[in-house]
Amino acid sequence: MEKLIWIYFLFEFNIEIFKIRALANYSNDKIAQLVQNFSITGKFLSQKRKGNGNVNDTIVVEIENKEGVKKFTLQRINHNVFNDPRGLMDNYSRVTTHLQAKRKSTSLSLISSLSGDTFFEDENGDFWRMMPFIEGVHCYEVAQKPLHAYEAAKAFGDFQVCLSDLPGKPLNLTIPDFHNTAKCFLEYEKAKHVNFDNRFEGVGDLDNFILERKSLCNAIQTNKLPVRIVHNDTKLNNVLLDEKTSKGVSVIDLDTVMPGCVLHDFGDLVRTTCNSSDENEKDLSKVTFLPEFFESITSGYLDATQDMLRQDEIDGLAISPLVITYELGIRFLSDFLNGDQYFKIKHPSQNLERARVQLKLLEAMEKSRMLMEKVVAKEWAKRKQKIAKAFSA
Ligand code: GN1
Ligand code: MG
């Protein structure tokens, strides 16, 4: 009998965890009520879940007023991941205001709450923010052509350049140690001991693969590189490209914008853009590295950053995708072993599958490593001369 009670509790507990991490749906009433707390006038018409974010919830809302029907983006900040939502929104507001001043028409802007805050806190302690929806753009899960890679890289590079003179105190650390790969490795070791539901059995050869590449933890020496304001989550789908011209319109998802290292931004864009499949692919034979997109990314990024980067940052560009891909592989696997506490999932083995995709991609990147070094050297050499000339003129 006692055994049966335990089984019952374990079952209930698992179901609860699954509910928390699965995609939440909100009723029309709830969304209509939330919208009323922001400084916009009009009648709530509809709401639709949007985006493939693994952490926050994004909803597109339609509001009708005298001028017609307008769309807005409403987002719930996941405060289990971001445990200082006020500090995060303070960053968000400073960053969007600064970008608006520099690139007016193209960047995100926040709609204030009725009480004049940049967010609204609901009765459950959830934090929500609202922004005008940007029309005429597309964000890609997988790049369709080299131009997408070029424009996305140019937009993220430009984003770093624009924020290089942000006035005031340093931005808050919304997630301390966010891209500390060595710490991710230690968390992985801990997760192996947690071994939720005996899941380590399913990890198989991935564990050895990870251990053999431990040196990647120190391949980016952040303590020796400049600290700059960076995005930290430069997935290809975090940049909006113009539907017609493919030009970068706006960088989005600014939750992790904080002091950090440019190499993590460059690396993460390569990780997502040079992967022939998306992060949730189950068929590993579809996961390959696309070197042609790497050239476009390097070119777009260096075109935007011009003379901003130091030589040691340029020297780290080619290894950075390997580091960030390794790091994310470990993060997904740790979350699987911890019982899916962090990333949203749609089915129980999803984090394991995601880890397999990243580590397969890493293996493919290793084969292209020399090629990546050559591309960076070539693209930088082209620009270095021009930059030197501009300075001597
Ligand atoms: C998370 O929620 P989303 O998709 O913007 C994660 C990133 C990962 C990404 C992998 C705060 O970003 O670090 O690279 O999933 N964000 C956070 O898809 O952990
Ligand atoms: Mg994000």
Rg (the chain; Cα; Å): 22
Distance CA 134, CA 169 (A): 30
Q: What is the pLDDT of residue 141?
A: 92
pLDDT tens-digit profile of 333-359?
Answer: 999 999 999 999 999 999 999 999 999
Q: What is the pLDDT of residue 355?
A: 98
Supply the residue whose CA is at minimum distance from atom 5 of ligand 1.
53
256 lines ligand 1 (CB under 6 A): yes
The mean pLDDT value of the chain amounts to 92
Atom of ligand 1 lying closest to residue 268 CA: 14
232 lines ligand 1 (CB under 6 A): no
Smallest-distance ligand from the CA of 55? 1
Task: Report the separation in Å between the CA atom of 53 and the middle of ligand 1, taken as the mean of its atom positions.
Answer: 7
Distance CA 233, CA 257 (A): 8
SS3 338: coil
Supply the residue whose CA is at minimum distance from atom 18 of ligand 1.
54
Neighbours of 298 (CB within 10 A): 25
187 lines ligand 1 (CB under 6 A): no
Smallest-distance ligand from the CA of 52? 1
Q: What number does CATH give the domain 146-392?
A: 3.90.1200.10
Distance CA 12, CA 307 (A): 57
Task: Report the separation in Å between the CA atom of 255 and the middle of ligand 1, taken as the mean of its atom positions.
Answer: 10
Low-confidence ranges of the chain (pLDDT < 50): 1, 3-23
Give the start-to-end residue ranges of the domains of the chain.
23-135, 146-392
Smallest-distance ligand from the CA of 334? 1
What is the torsion angle, in degrees rounded to the nearest 10, for the CA atoms of residue 130, residue 134, residue 140 and residue 141? 10
Q: What is the pLDDT of residue 106?
A: 65
pLDDT tens-digit profile of 159-207?
Answer: 999 999 999 999 999 999 999 999 999 999 999 999 999 999 999 999 9
Residue of 140, 178, 235, 341 best suited for mutating to test ligand 1, as the one with most atoms within 8 Å of CB: 235
Whole-angstrom CA distances from 227 to 160, 170, 182 are 11, 11, 18
141 lines ligand 1 (CB under 6 A): no
335 lines ligand 1 (CB under 6 A): no
Smallest-distance ligand from the CA of 82? 1
279 lines ligand 1 (CB under 6 A): yes
Task: Report the separation in Å between the CA atom of 55 and the middle of ligand 2, taken as the mean of its atom positions.
Answer: 7
Question: How are beta strands 258-260 and 239-242 bridged, if at all?
Answer: unpaired
Write the class of the CATH domain 23-135: alpha beta
SS3 176: coil
45 lines ligand 1 (CB under 6 A): no
Residues with CB under 5 A from ligand 2 (ion): 233, 253
